Structure 1
Amino acid sequence: MKYYELKQIVEYLKKFKKISDIERVDDNVIKIVFDEEPIYFDLSKGDSKIYKRDDFVKTKRYNAPFDIVLQKRFKKAKIKDISILDNDKIIKITTISSSSYKEIKTILQLEFTGRNTNAIILDENENILEALRHIDISTSFREVKPGKKLLPLPPLKKISNEDKKIENIEKYLYEVFQNSLQKKLDSLKSVKIYTINKQIEKLKNLLNSLENEKDLQNLAQIEEMKANLILANLHNIKPYDKEIKLKDFEGKDITIQIPPNIKSTSQIADIFFNKARKFRQKAKNIHIERENLHSKILFLERMKNRIENAKNIEEIEILFPKKESQKSKKVKFKNYEKFIIEGFEIYIGKNEKGNIEILKKAKASDIWMHLKDIPSAHIIIKTNKQNIPQNILQEAAKLCVDFSVEQKGDYLVDFTQRRNVKIIENAHVNYVNYKTIKVRKV
């Protein structure tokens, strides 16, 4: 960020009297609610910025020591001073919070300084309480660790003399976000769609490589016919025969190769019957596998469609939660998918089997969702006996629509506790005591 921009933003921030709420909402982004105005401070190295936005959907929760101190020291704190260091791109927000015994002074230092970009929490003596990024003395003269005195950065050798007037700070802050969003959104969409296309291509190759069920059924019939012909001609087969020439049931000549190492002629028919049974079982399994691959491809196509139509990064991030731990990796969700929004686990069936699985796994207090009067994926929101916020219900309903239908328009999504849902047959259910959410698919 440029120095003149920071100076004018600081002047804008001086009108606020308190910090109502504060939290980290992305790896390098801190959301500060000044009075009732949320403002975002992105402290990414090389791409730091300050912006405002209205469509934020929280997808991550942070509970590191930095986040705990951030909440403890600044939430509901009074603002004593907001200033920018002379000729440096560092904002200092000084606050006063009350405890049972005394008022506590704390400083949040936001440094928009290239490779040194950081958020540092200081006590009244400017000792470090916590920092977004810890810096070791072995890598820099300026150690940034809890309990250490924060040394000043060397003065900037060159600072822009540009003094452009920002006519409307609020409009400017929204524009910063929109400009940044579009660039990041386009890049993220490109990466995720490429990944999904590769997965779809792999699944389609598997689908095309599957044997044909009819061919396998025909092979089963041939082996079964051989077995029956053998049974009908056991008296003509000698123990040392390697093949036998017979007429089939239509009077046509046929030569049957006798399997080697046969102890008795009575075993021969059993061998052919077993071959027929294996071909039929393989045909049945391929049918199931083909349906499974089709459902996976359809699910990925709908995921790709959601990415293509995403209006913000959070809509995409919901679809790609952080990887499970090594221990949890053993569990593979083949027929249903798990998404996480603000810590709430949301399960969605990829096919009928997946819908059945999540219905059976759900607890009585979990929330169940389904499109009204239209076949759709089932959704389960794990509640852990908590109340589900309206924004979580809305996002889950949107997932239900996006992964169930392709046509744009308005849809109604019914939801109720799992205890109110009765399974009739497979994934067909009856439900009572439900509410409805309206979702527009664009």
Structure 2
Amino acid sequence: MKVSDKMSFDGSFTHSMRNELASILKTGRVSKINQPYPNELILTIRAQSKNQQLLLSANPTYARVQLTKIPYSNPSVPSNFTMIMRKHLSGAILTDVQQLDNDRVLKFLFTSRNELGDQTELCLNVEIMARHSNIILVDQKTSKVIDAIKHVGSDVNRYRILLPGATYINPPKQDVQNPFTKTSFTDIDQLIEEFPNVQVLADNVRKMIQGLGKDTSLALASYLHKSDQTETNFKNFFSQFDEPKPTLSNIANNKLNFTAFPYPDTAKNTFYSTLSELLDAYYAEKAQRDRVREQGAVLIQVVKKQLKKNRTKLKRLTRDMAETENADAFKIKGEILTTYLNKIQRGMQTIELPNYYDNNAMISISLSNQLSPSENAQRYFKKYQKLKNAVKYLNEQMKLTQQEIDYFENIQSQIELAKPEDLIDIRYELEQGHYLRDHEQHGKKKKAKRQKINKPEEFVSTDGTEILVGKNNLQNERLTMHTADKRETWLHTKNIPGSHVIVRSFNPSEQTLTEAANLAAYFSKARNSAKVPVDYTKVKHIRKPNGAKPGFVIYDSQQTLFIDPSEDIVNKLRK
């Protein structure tokens, strides 16, 4: 499912989010500060006797502010920005959450204590402005920038510098009206009269009213056309942002869109209890894919390079193998020349002789004028022998090259399905296979190190049986060859790259087997296909060939299920 390219997180949605965050977080204390990704900060705030994870994102594509329940992993070494945030905001009390007019700017006001024990007032500004999005910590008393997650110098923006020590200036104010404080509606009446078309009205309303994305302005235009009661329609529309009904909607071209309440002309609406839960549902997979692409860029390039190299090699080997089909023709020519040596004279470049393998039909044979008749015959026998010897070599090379292609297609599939934390295992595997240089150790004396492999993902079947899913080769190998009991059931897509799945039961029910097979099909290269074949057998029937790459196994005594992968089932089974 694709997400919408419309600006759903506009100023009006920000208004609703401000209300939600203020009601939950005000008077809360900051207990943890982490920066799991380059443009995202997570503040853990203890409020109303609960720990809340506040996600502040300046991601160019997915900039937003919300509470999140999606787990994350932190880098081993915190960034300088993280350290500065911890220095100033650890233990700080959130006194208020404010919005700049109806713009996409939220201000989190904190009181804290400096190193001398004096009380300080700080403001964490989150500007949600696509590629210009930023997170800036400002000293309230001096208006000086303490630090920003993205530094902006005068060479980039002359109007406002976002560097430590610079005076913080709000984003440029536009000549638009805040809909939540608007009292006169004569100008709206004029627009309605001038532009009876809803789409054109929406475009012009957006130029006049602050904080309207394309979808919100179109929804407002639809409301304004309901009747001639402009003020009532306008106020009724914006009052819904104060009492939101968080909505995920299907729109055109199989895309999803999120809104604070159901907009007109939307279908298949799904409702959530909070705006933050709505955003978790909307962004979870898409944002994660983006993070994986960003953090796994080097791995993706290595895999693409290896696939291109081996596919090119396989084409060349296949071409060479096709040439060996002429081997028997060389043998026949050598034998014919040997039979008719007395008819060949040195210096001849070609000769026609009867082919006794083809009813004595005449065959033209090229000769070297530098060789004797006997040497010409031997030349054809040598070509024959060379090609025959090449067959064994080419078959072996084609087999090894195809194994490399299968291996890297498998890793490519694993990266596509990976969570950011899974990339650590994949990187380590590529380093161990000498496909990727260990950048951290390059130029230093190598130290023996043992990589800690992440645990497989855990699921629970409908009848309560635990199911484990390996997400990469190292997890697969440890799960199948070291963790699983020989009497447990192992599943894998048939001849398709995918995860190893273990059902932690000696005698699983048919329903559990079907659900485990769904997991195997979903966490494979065939996740978007139908009738995916999934083999299952007891772990005792799994073997790893000597010298095989991590995660590669052979098996027997299997049975096969055919599965239509379902994401809904996967989410239902998650532990």
Query: What's the offset of the Cα at 1:272?
Result: 2.1
1:87 to 76, 79, 101: 101
Give, in whole Å, the separation in 2 of the partners of 1:340 and 1:393: 18
Give, in whole Å, the separation in 2 of the partners of 1:179 and 1:393: 23
Give, in whole Å, the separation in 1 of the partners of 2:148 and 2:290: 29
Q: Does 1:426 align with 2:547?
A: yes
Cα offsets for 1:146-200 (capped at 9, x unmatched): 22122344556432313433479973211122134477689999xxxxxx9xx99
Q: How does 1:29-48 map to 2 (within 5 A)?
A: 29-35=40-46, 36-44=51-59, 48=63
Corresponding letter in the other structure for 1:165: D
Aligned to 1:296: 405
Q: How does 1:107-256 map to 2 (within 5 A)?
A: 107-112=122-127, 114=129, 117-123=133-139, 125-138=142-155, 139-153=157-171, 157-161=176-180, 162-163=238-239, 164-166=241-243, 171-181=274-284, 211=318, 216-231=323-338, 234=341, 236-246=343-353, 253=360, 255=363
Aligned to 2:300: none
Q: Does 1:77 align with 2:159?
A: no
Aligned to 1:321: none
Q: How does 1:393-408 map to 2 (within 5 A)?
A: 397-400=470-473, 405-406=492-493
Query: What's the offset of the Cα at 1:293?
Result: 4.5
Query: What's the offset of the Cα at 1:220?
Result: 1.3
Aligned to 1:8: 19
Give, in whole Å, the separation in 2 of the partners of 1:218 and 1:85: 76
Question: Would you say the 8 A contact 1:31–1:39 is kept in 2?
Answer: yes
Aligned to 2:423: 340
Give, in whole Å, the separation in 2 of the partners of 1:231 and 1:59: 77
Higher relative contact order (CA 8 A, sep 6+): 1
CA shift in 2, pair 1:225/1:344, >3 Å: closer
CA shift in 2, pair 1:426/1:70, >3 Å: same
Q: Secondary structure at the match of 1:94?
A: strand
Q: Secondary structure at the match of 1:272?
A: helix
Give, in whole Å, the separation in 2 of the partners of 1:172 and 1:428: 46
Q: How does 1:371-386 map to 2 (within 5 A)?
A: 384-385=449-450
TM-score (normalised: structure 2): 0.48
Question: Would you say the 8 A contact 2:311–2:405 is kept in 1?
Answer: no
Give, in whole Å, the separation in 1 of the partners of 2:437 and 2:285: 38
Query: What's the offset of the Cα at 1:285?
Result: 5.8
Cα offsets for 1:381-433 (capped at 9, x unmatched): x993465554799999222488993169982399xxxxxxxx9833299xxxx
Question: Would you say the 8 A contact 1:40–1:52 is kept in 2?
Answer: yes
Aligned to 2:526: none
Cα offsets for 1:111-164 (capped at 9, x unmatched): 335366321123463322321222233523221112212234455643231343
Question: Would you say the 8 A contact 1:223–1:275 is kept in 2?
Answer: yes
Q: CA RMSD in A?
A: 5.5
Aligned to 1:21: 32
Q: Secondary structure at the match of 2:449?
A: coil
Give, in whole Å, the separation in 2 of the partners of 1:413 and 1:261: 73
Query: What's the offset of the Cα at 1:46?
Result: 7.8
Give, in whole Å, the separation in 1 of the partners of 2:91 and 2:331: 83
Q: Give the gaps of 5 or more residues in structure 2.
A: 1-9, 181-237, 247-272, 293-302, 439-446, 460-467, 478-490, 505-543, 551-566, 571-575
Query: What's the offset of the Cα at 1:22?
Result: 2.1
Q: Secondary structure at the match of 2:136?
A: strand
CA shift in 2, pair 1:188/1:38, >3 Å: closer
Query: What's the offset of the Cα at 1:291?
Result: 6.3
Aligned to 1:419: none
Q: Does 1:50 align with 2:65?
A: yes
Corresponding letter in the other structure for 1:399: N
Q: What's the % identity of the aligned pairs?
A: 12
Query: What's the offset of the Cα at 1:239?
Result: 0.7
Q: Secondary structure at the match of 2:379?
A: helix
Q: How many residues align?
A: 364
Q: Does 1:66 align with 2:81?
A: yes
Give, in whole Å, the separation in 2 of the partners of 1:144 and 1:215: 65
Question: Would you say the 8 A contact 2:492–2:501 is kept in 1?
Answer: no
Question: Would you say the 8 A contact 2:26–2:94 is kept in 1?
Answer: no
Give, in whole Å, the separation in 2 of the partners of 1:168 and 1:30: 27
Question: Would you say the 8 A contact 1:224–1:273 is kept in 2?
Answer: yes
Q: Secondary structure at the match of 1:257?
A: strand
Q: Secondary structure at the match of 1:142?
A: coil
CA shift in 2, pair 1:98/1:151, >3 Å: closer
Query: What's the offset of the Cα at 1:217?
Result: 3.9
CA shift in 2, pair 1:25/1:185, >3 Å: closer
Give, in whole Å, the separation in 2 of the partners of 1:136 and 1:80: 29
Q: Secondary structure at the match of 2:154?
A: coil
TM-score (normalised: structure 1): 0.60
Question: Would you say the 8 A contact 2:88–2:114 is kept in 1?
Answer: no
Question: Would you say the 8 A contact 2:348–2:368 is kept in 1?
Answer: no
Give, in whole Å, the separation in 2 of the partners of 1:305 and 1:140: 45
Aligned to 1:377: none
Query: What's the offset of the Cα at 1:234?
Result: 4.5
Question: Would you say the 8 A contact 2:147–2:164 is kept in 1?
Answer: yes
Corresponding letter in the other structure for 2:33: I
Q: Give the gaps of 5 or more residues in structure 1.
A: 190-195, 319-338, 350-356, 364-381, 415-422, 430-439
